[in-house]
Amino acid sequence: MTADLAALHGTVPDKWAALPKVPKSAATGWLHDFGSARLESMVNQAITANPDLLAAAARVRQTRAQAVQEGASLFPQVSANSGASRAQTPSDQRFAGVNQIANRFNWTVNVAWDVDFWGVIADGRRAAVARTQASEETWHAARLSLAANTVQTAVTLAEAESLQRLAEENIRVRKTQLGILERQMDRGIDPERAALDVSLSRADLARAESTLVQRQRTADETRRTLETLMGGYPAGHERGIGVLPVLRRGVPAGLPSEMLLRRPDLRAAERRVAAALADESSAKKALLPSFRLTGSFGRTTQEVEKLIRPETALWNIASQAAQTLFQGGRLKAGIDLERARYDENLQTYAGSVLTAFREVETALAAERFLTEQEAALQRAAELAEQSEKLALGQYEKGLSDVLTLLDTRQRAFDARSALIAVQAQRLRNRAALHLALGGDFSSVAAR
């Protein structure tokens, strides 16, 4: 396997077969970046109660039991049995008129051992252990993915609620403005212009109300999704984290690429390669002869009290060698099958590594882009609010029409909405970055 990994140099690090230890807190240790105790509590609840994660844990227990089963064949199999019987010979047999009644008591211990001379059983056990390790790493991957998904969903809910509050504020402002315009129309001040202004303001209010309903629906859907992730009934009552958290730190410069060694999905892929290699080795050794030793020891007698006497002892010991001569190419095809599976797992592993690097590079680039975008939108929101105030002052003085006021107000609303959206996207991207790195920004540590 080492040679095959070396052949994939540039896509698969040639030392990844020796898996390093990773921190126990890899799945949740990065949550402190978000500075939200409520968010950490929600993630812990999800890890404790999510049905999919519990199912993954059950699969780990299954593979552990299978590994024990595979290893059991390395040891002799011992069984014991005992029996008692009573029989009568009919009187019409050779000696007519004589009924014979006979008792028989016995106990035996039987031993059978398939001698693993070539290491076939050991290969099977190594494959089973590797699959168990892959299952364990898959569970760790599911745990980390669930934590990141919970964070992203909680952030999406906070975003939806923030946008909902912004929409409600927008509706209140527009209703106030509409009330002023309607009073002006009632007083007969420039009735034609007042009627147009009222009509435009009502249309703008209707659009704002539609936006609010849409954001309420988004918040409700996200809330139910979050409840499901946390292993609860999707009743739509989850309060979430309320507001968008503020990241406590930026991304450190010069993150080492070996941090990907702790990614559980890559570790699982490497273990599946190791299991396939052991399976191929076992298939090749099936061409060799097999050896079996059997033996038994016990006592048999017609009187139960004599079972402990030496003269009632019986025993036997035997050996057997078997060699397959012809199966129509079945064994050779089995070797080809296992080799193809090994090649598949090896290339899947290489593809997983490339995917991991892409995910990290994409998340790191997005961190930079989103930070710059957030700064630009912050300036845009501040300028839009200033423009809104200026437009309102000019409208009240009669220096501009209602269209200008409505347009600047919509621009301000859109700018604040975009700012909230990019802030939430940056938080979700940070969770995606930790998922891509396999945990916190710290280096690989002892577990």
- C-alpha distances in angstroms, 418 versus 364, 372, 384, 413, 423? 21, 13, 12, 9, 9
Which residues does 221 contact at the CB level (< 8 Å), separation at least 6?
Answer: none
Instruction: Report whether 381 contacts 419 (CB < 8 A).
Output: yes
Determine if residue 354 is left, alpha or beta; phi over 0 gives left, psi from -120 to 50 gives alpha, anything else beta: alpha
What would the two tokens of residue 324 be? 């397959």
CA atoms within 13 Å, Cβ hemisphere of 138: 20
Scored b (16 or more CB within 10 A) or e, 159-169 reads: bbbbbbebbee
Query: Scanning the structure block, which residue is given the tokens 């402002």?
Result: 173
Residues written for the chain: 447
**pLDDT score for 258:** 81
Tens-binned pLDDT, residue by residue, of the chain (447 aa): 555 555 544 444 433 444 556 555 667 889 999 999 999 999 999 999 999 999 999 999 999 998 888 888 888 888 888 888 877 766 555 555 556 777 777 878 888 888 888 888 899 999 999 999 999 999 999 999 999 999 999 999 999 999 999 999 888 887 877 777 777 676 666 666 667 777 887 888 898 899 999 999 999 999 999 999 999 999 999 999 999 999 998 888 888 888 888 899 999 999 999 999 999 999 998 888 888 888 888 777 777 666 677 777 788 888 888 888 888 888 899 899 999 999 999 999 999 999 999 999 999 999 999 999 999 999 999 998 888 788 778 767 777 676 777 778 888 888 999 999 999 999 999 999 999 999 888 754 433
Determine if residue 231 is left, alpha or beta; phi over 0 gives left, psi from -120 to 50 gives alpha, anything else beta: left
**pLDDT score for 9:** 44
Contacts 24+ apart (CB under 8 A), 421-426: 421/159, 421/163, 422/370, 422/373, 422/374, 422/377, 423/159, 423/244, 423/374, 424/155, 424/156, 424/158, 424/159, 424/162, 424/244, 425/370, 426/247, 426/367, 426/370, 426/371, 426/374
**pLDDT score for 230:** 95
pTM (whole model) above 0.95: no
Neighbours of 314 (CB within 10 A): 11
CA atoms within 13 Å, Cβ hemisphere of 5: 17
Neighbours of 327 (CB within 10 A): 11
**pLDDT score for 287:** 87
Q: For 33, which DSSP code?
A: G
Contacts 24+ apart (CB under 8 A), 54-59: 56/138, 56/139, 56/142, 56/143, 57/139, 59/135, 59/138, 59/139
At 357-416, the pLDDT tens digits run 999 999 999 999 999 999 999 999 999 888 878 877 876 777 767 677 777 888 888 899
**pLDDT score for 446:** 37
Q: Domains for the chain: give ranges and CATH numbers.
A: 2-86+100-437 (1.20.1600.10)
